[in-house]
C-alpha cells in the first residue's frame, strides 16, 4: 500500500472554491483510506482575517457539505476529521505583501524541527492565474522555495537532514520542494511563456506540477488501457475512423466565477486544457512505458501536430456562443450578462465548437470536432469515435447510407464506461438491421468507487510522479493553436450575443458547422 511520508502543503487561496470543493474532500478521503501519515501539515494562506480555529471550522463545513457527511461525536468520520484538523494551520496575508511569507519561515521550520527532518514542502497555487507571478516572486525572494536548506531555516533542521548551510539552489533539499499550479496556465501564449520563465528561475522541472485534473480522471486514463491493451488499436487510425467528437457539456453556469470568467471564456478555460487533454489521450501514439517521460512525450508529440487555423478556417470551423435566459429542469435561468460580476454588454464566450485536424500519418484528414458550453441542456463529458462504414456488397441492399454503423463512446462522466454501437439483425422473418449497444459500466463491472482525480493528483505529487501532469511544451503547443483561433476571431465581425438559450444544445451555428460535412453531433 502507498504510504506518504510527513509533508507540509501551503495552499495559496485556501478560502476559495477549489480548496473547499476539491482539496479538503480529497485529503479527507486519503486520510480515511490510510494513505497519509499521522502527522502532516496543511497551511491555508489567504487574505481573509481568520484565526486557525475559524479556518478549521470552515474546512470542516466544506467537507461535510461536499461529502454529505455530518461529523458527529464518537463517529468514525469525527476521528478522521480530528486527525486532519490537528494538522490544519492558517496564515493570513495578501499575496503581494512580503511579511506573510516571512511569517511562514519560522512556522515551516518548526514543522521540520518537530519531525526531525527536512520534510517535503508543497506550494499549491489555488488562485486565479493573475496571482501566480507575485506568489512565485515572493517564494523566490524569501527562499521558501529552497526548503529547509534555506539560510533562513533552523540549523537544527538542516543538521538533522545532513544539509550544508549554503542555501544552494542545487542543494539536497531542492528535491523536497514542489510547486503545484492549477489551470489555466496563463491567459495567452505570451503570458504562458513568461510564467514558464519565472518558474524555471525559481524551480527545477522535476519540482513543477502543472495541473489539469482531466489528465488524472480514471476514465480518461483508461483510454490508454482500452487502446493499447486491446486489438482495437489496430483500427485506431485514418483507414478505419471517419471522425472523432469530444464534448464537455455543462448545465451549470459560472457560479461565483464571474470576475475570473470575464477575462477568460470557454476557449481558454476549457478547450485549451480539458478538451486538449482528452484529445491527447485519444490521438497519441503508444508510449514505450508508463513512465512520466514516455507518456508525457507522446502526449506532447500529438498536441504539437494540431494544425493551427487560418483566418478562413476560423470563419468556417470555429463557433462561439453566449447563453441568454432560458429554462433548465423547469427553472428559469438568467442569461450570462445578468450573472454576478459580468458586464451587461459582455462579448465573452460561454460556448465553443471547433473542427480541427492533426497533421501526422495516423490522423491525416480525419476531422476532430470539439465542443463545450455552459448552461446547456445536459451534463456529460464523452469522446465518440465514429468508424467508417464497411463497403459491404451483401448489405448494400439495406441502404444504410450515411448512418454510422460502429461508434465507440467513451463516457468520462456521468455513468462512466464505454459503449460500442453496431448493427444487428432485428428478430423476425425478414432480414432487417437495427443499431444496438454493447455496454461496459465502471459501476457494474468493478463495484468500487472511482477515485476522484484530485486524490490521484495529490498522491502522485507526494510520490514525485509527474506522469499525469502537463508539461511546458504541451501547453505551448495548445496555446499556439488557441492563439490562431483568437487571432481569427479578432478579424471577424463580432457575434450578436446572446445566441443560444440556457437549456438548449448551443448555437445553431455549431450544428451547421458539422452538418455541412454530412455529420451530426452525438448526444
Same domain, 221 and 177: no
CATH number at residue 310: 3.30.360.10
- The verdict on whether 243 is a catalytic residue reads no
Other Cβ atoms within 10 Å of 484 Cβ, number? 21
Residue 174 main-chain phi, psi, to 5 deg: -55, -40
Q: 32-61 burial, b for 16+ CB within 10 Å, e for fewer?
A: beebbbeebbbbbbbeeebeeeebbebbbe
| End position of a domain, from candidates 164, 182, 200 | 182
Whether residues 153 and 38 share a domain: the answer is yes
Q: Are both 112 and 231 inside the same structural domain?
A: no
Cell numbers placing 127: 488562485
| Same domain (yes/no): 170, 257 | no
pLDDT surpasses 50 at 506: yes
User: Does residue 507 share a domain with residue 379?
Assistant: yes
Q: Binding site annotation covers 259?
A: no
Name which of 1, 62, 59 is nearest 30 in CA terms. 1
pLDDT of residue 432: 82
E-assigned strand segments in 95-176: 120-125
Per the domain annotation, does 433 fall within a domain? no
Nearest C-alpha neighbor of 52 from the set 41, 38, 68: 41
Are residues 291 and 144 located together in one domain of the fold? no
Both 237 and 351 in one domain: the answer is: yes
Is 425 known as a binding-site position? no
Where is the domain boundary, 166, 182, 198? 182
228-248 burial: b if 16+ Cβ within 10 Å, else e: eeeeeeeebeeeebbbbbbbb
Residue 264 located in a structural domain: yes
* Residue 47, marked binder: yes
Position 90 scores a pLDDT of 97
Split at pLDDT 50, 70, 90, the class of 120 is: very high
* Per-residue confidence band for 98, with pLDDT thresholds at 50, 70 and 90: very high
Is residue 14 a contact partner of residue 126, using CB atoms and an 8 Å limit?
yes
At a CB cut-off of 8 Å and minimum separation 6, what does 13 contact? 19, 45, 46, 125, 126, 127, 128, 131
Of 167, 182, 197, at which residue does a domain stop?
182
Contact 15, 48 (CB under 8 A): yes
Domain at 59, CATH number:
3.40.50.720
The pLDDT > 90 percentage for the chain reads 75
- Say whether both 494 and 371 belong to one domain: yes
Q: Is 501 annotated as a binding residue?
A: no
508 occurs within a structural domain: yes
377 plus 502 within the same structural domain: yes
Is the predicted pLDDT of residue 15 greater than 90, yes or no?
yes
Give the residues across from 436 on adjacent strands.
422
Note the pLDDT tens digit of each residue in 391-449.
Answer: 766 666 666 666 778 999 999 999 999 999 998 888 988 888 888 999 999 989 997 88
pLDDT level of residue 8 (50, 70, 90 thresholds): very high
The range of the structural domain enclosing residue 382 comes to 215-387+465-515
Q: 165 and 241: one domain? A: no
Would you say residue 331 lies in a domain?
Answer: yes
The number of domains in the chain is 2
Q: Which of 29, 243, 274, 294 is catalytic?
A: 274
Is the bond into 414 cis (omega within 30 degrees of 0)? yes
pLDDT at res. 1: 67
Residue 449 lies in a domain: no
Q: Are 144 and 254 part of one and the same domain?
A: no
User: What is the tens place of the pLDDT at every residue in 128-145?
Assistant: 888 999 999 999 999 998
Strand bridging mode 88-92 / 120-125: unpaired
pLDDT score recorded for residue 402: 65
- Does residue 307 have a pLDDT over 50? yes
Rounded CA-CA distance 504/56 in Å is: 41
In a domain, 406, yes or no: no
Residue 204 falls within a domain, yes or no?
no
Q: What is the mean pLDDT of residues 92-106?
A: 95
Question: Whole-angstrom Cα distance, residue 124 to residue 106?
Answer: 19
The span from the CA of 84 to the CA of 32, in Å, is 10
Query: Can you give the pTM of this predicted structure?
Result: 0.91
Q: What is the mean pLDDT of residues 181-193?
A: 84
Rg (CA), the chain: 25
Is 217 annotated as a binding-site member? yes
Q: Is residue 174 a part of any domain in this protein?
A: yes
User: For residue 175, what are the CA distances in angstroms to 8, 67, 295, 319?
Assistant: 14, 34, 22, 45
Same domain, 260 and 116: no
DSSP string covering 415-446, please?
S-EEEEEEEEEPSSSS--EEEEEEEEEHHHHT
For residue 76, what pLDDT is reported? Answer: 84
Amino acid at each position: 500500500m502507498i504510504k506518504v511520508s510527513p509533508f507540509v502543503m501551503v495552499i495559496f487561496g485556501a478560502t476559495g472554491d477549489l480548496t473547499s470543493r476539491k482539496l479538503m474532500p480529497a485529503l479527507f478521503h486519503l486520510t480515511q483510506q490510510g494513505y497519509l501519515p499521522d502527522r502532516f501539515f496543511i497551511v491555508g494562506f489567504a487574505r481573509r482575517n481568520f484565526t486557525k480555529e475559524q479556518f478549521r471550522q470552515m474546512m470542516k463545513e466544506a467537507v461535510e457539505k461536499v461529502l454529505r457527511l455530518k461529523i458527529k461525536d464518537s463517529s468514525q468520520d469525527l476521528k478522521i476529521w480530528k486527525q486532519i484538523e490537528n494538522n490544519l494551520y492558517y496564515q493570513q496575508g495578501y499575496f503581494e505583501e512580503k511579511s506573510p511569507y516571512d511569517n511562514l519561515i519560522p512556522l515551516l521550520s518548526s514543522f521540520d524541527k518537530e519531525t526531525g527532518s527536512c520534510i517535503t514542502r508543497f506550494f499549491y497555487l489555488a488562485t486565479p492565474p493573475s496571482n501566480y507571478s507575485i506568489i512565485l516572486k515572493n517564494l523566490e525572494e524569501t527562499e521558501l522555495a529552497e526548503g529547509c536548506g534555506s539560510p533562513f531555516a533552523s540549523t537544527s533542521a538542516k543538521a538533522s537532514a545532513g544539509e550544508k548551510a549554503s542555501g544552494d539552489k542545487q542543494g539536497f533539499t531542492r528535491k523536497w520542494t514542489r510547486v503545484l499550479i492549477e489551470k489555466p496556465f496563463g491567459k495567452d501564449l505570451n503570458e504562458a511563456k513568461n510564467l514558464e520563465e519565472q518558474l524555471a528561475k525559481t524551480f527545477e522541472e522535476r519540482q513543477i506540477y502543472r495541473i489539469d485534473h482531466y489528465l488524472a480522471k480514471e476514465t480518461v486514463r483508461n483510454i490508454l488501457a482500452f487502446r493499447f491493451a486491446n486489438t482495437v488499436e489496430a483500427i485506431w487510425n485514418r483507414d478505419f475512423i471517419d471522425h472523432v467528437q469530444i464534448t464537455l457539456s455543462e448545465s451549470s453556469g459560472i457560479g461565483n466565477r464571474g470576475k475570473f470568467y470575464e477575462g477568460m471564456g470557454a476557449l481558454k478555460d476549457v478547450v485549451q486544457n480539458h478538451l486538449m487533454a482528452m484529445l491527447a489521450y485519444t490521438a497519441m501514439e503508444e508510449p514505450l512505458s508508463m513512465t512520466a517521460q514516455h507518456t508525457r512525450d507522446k502526449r506532447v508529440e500529438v498536441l504539437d501536430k494540431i494544425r493551427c487555423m487560418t483566418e478562413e478556417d476560423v470563419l468556417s470551423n470555429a463557433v462561439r456562443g453566449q447563453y441568454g435566459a432560458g429554462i433548465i429542469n423547469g427553472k428559469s435561468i438568467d442569461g450570462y450578462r445578468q450573472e454576478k460580476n459580468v458586464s451587461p454588454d459582455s462579448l465573452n464566450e460561454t460556448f465553443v465548437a471547433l473542427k480541427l485536424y492533426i497533421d501526422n500519418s495516423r490522423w491525416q484528414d480525419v476531422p476532430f470536432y470539439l465542443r463545450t458550453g455552459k448552461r446547456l441542456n445536459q451534463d456529460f463529458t464523452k469522446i465518440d469515435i465514429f468508424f467508417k462504414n464497411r463497403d459491404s456488397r451483401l448489405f448494400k441492399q439495406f441502404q444504410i447510407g450515411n448512418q454510422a454503423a460502429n461508434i465507440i463512446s467513451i463516457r468520462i462522466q456521468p455513468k462512466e464506461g464505454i459503449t460500442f454501437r453496431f448493427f444487428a439483425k432485428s428478430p423476425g422473418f425478414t432480414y432487417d438491421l437495427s443499431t444496438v449497444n454493447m455496454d461496459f459500466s465502471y459501476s457494474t463491472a468493478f463495484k468500487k468507487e472511482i477515485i476522484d482525480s484530485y486524490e490521484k493528483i495529490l498522491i502522485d505529487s507526494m510520490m514525485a510522479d509527474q506522469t499525469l501532469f502537463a508539461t511546458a511544451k504541451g501547453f505551448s503547443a495548445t496555446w499556439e493553436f488557441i492563439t490562431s483561433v483568437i487571432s481569427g476571431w479578432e478579424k471577424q465581425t463580432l457575434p450578436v450575443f446572446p445566441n443560444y438559450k440556457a437549456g438548449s444544445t448551443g448555437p445553431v451555428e455549431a450544428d451547421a458547422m458539422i452538418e455541412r460535412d454530412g455529420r451530426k453531433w452525438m448526444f
